[in-house]
Structure 1
Amino acid sequence: MKPEDFLDRIKYNGRIEPDFESLEALHLAHMYTVPFENLDIRMGIPIELGFEEFYSKIVDANRGGFCYELNGLFGWLLTKIGFEVEMLSARVYGQDGAPGPDFDHMLLHVNKEFIADVGFGDSFTRPLKFREGDQEQESGVYRLVSTGNTWQMERNSGEGFKPQYLFTETPRALNEYEEMCIHQQTSPKSTFTQKVVCSLATPNGRITYANGRTISTVEGEKSEAKVEGIKELATLLENTFGIKLDGGYGALLGKAGVAQ
Structure 2
Amino acid sequence: MSDNEFDLDTYLDRIAWRGERRPDAATLRGVHLAHMRGIPFENLDALGGTAPSLALPDLTAKMLHSRRGGYCYEHNTLFAHALEALGFRVTRLAARVVVGADRPESRPRTHMALLVEAPDDPQPYLADVGFGAIGALLEAVPLTAGVEFHDGGRRHRLVQVRHRGPLPLWVLEVHRPDKGEAPGGAGGGWEAQYAFTTEPFEHPDFEVINWYIATHPRSPFSRRAYVQRLTGDGHLALDDRLLTTTRADGTVTERELADEAEVHRVLVEEFRITAPDGLTLLARP
Whole-angstrom CA distance in 2 between matches of 1:50 and 1:185: 16
| 1:139 CA drift (Å) | 5.1
| 1:170 CA drift (Å) | 1.5
Consecutive unaligned residues in structure 1, runs of 5 or more: none
Q: Which residue of 2 aligns with 1:152?
A: 171
Matches within 5 A, 1:220-259: 220-249=250-279, 251-253=280-282, 255=283
Show structure 1 runs of 4+ deviating over 6 A. none
Whole-angstrom CA distance in 2 between matches of 1:203 and 1:97: 35
User: Does residue 44 in structure 1 map to residue 49 in structure 2?
Assistant: yes
Are the equivalent residues in 1 in contact too, given 2:216–2:222 (CA < 8 A)? yes
Matches within 5 A, 1:69-88: 69-88=74-93
Are the equivalent residues in 2 in contact too, given 1:51–1:73 (CA < 8 A)? yes
Whole-angstrom CA distance in 1 between matches of 2:58 and 2:152: 32
Point out the structure with the larger helix share: 1
Matches within 5 A, 1:1-260: 1-99=6-104, 100-102=107-109, 104-111=110-117, 113-121=124-132, 122=134, 123-132=136-145, 133-138=147-152, 140-147=154-161, 149-158=168-177, 159-218=188-247, 219-249=249-279, 251-253=280-282, 255=283
Whole-angstrom CA distance in 1 between matches of 2:235 and 2:95: 24
| 1:94 CA drift (Å) | 4.8
Q: CA RMSD in A?
A: 2.0
| 1:108 CA drift (Å) | 0.8
Whole-angstrom CA distance in 2 between matches of 1:237 and 1:209: 9
The alignment partner of 2:270 has SS state of helix
Whole-angstrom CA distance in 2 between matches of 1:207 and 1:75: 25
Are the equivalent residues in 1 in contact too, given 2:138–2:154 (CA < 8 A)? no
Whole-angstrom CA distance in 1 between matches of 2:152 and 2:7: 31
Deviations 1:98-123 (A, max 9, x none): 43223x11111111521110000221
Deviations 1:193-247 (A, max 9, x none): 3421110112332011121121101121100122233443222111222211342
Structure 2 counterpart of 1:210, one-letter code? D
Deviations 1:121-146 (A, max 9, x none): 22121111111111123553211112
Whole-angstrom CA distance in 2 between matches of 1:69 and 1:208: 18
Whole-angstrom CA distance in 2 between matches of 1:246 and 1:90: 29
TM-score with structure 2 setting the length? 0.82
Whole-angstrom CA distance in 2 between matches of 1:252 and 1:2: 32
Are the equivalent residues in 2 in contact too, given 1:27–1:127 (CA < 8 A)? yes
Are the equivalent residues in 2 in contact too, given 1:43–1:248 (CA < 8 A)? no
Whole-angstrom CA distance in 2 between matches of 1:146 and 1:46: 33
Structure 2 counterpart of 1:202, one-letter code? T
Whole-angstrom CA distance in 1 between matches of 2:218 and 2:275: 26
Consecutive unaligned residues in structure 2, runs of 5 or more: 1-5, 118-122, 163-167, 178-187
Deviations 1:161-218 (A, max 9, x none): 1211111112221111222211211224323134211101123320111211211011
Whole-angstrom CA distance in 2 between matches of 1:248 and 1:128: 40
TM-score with structure 1 setting the length? 0.90
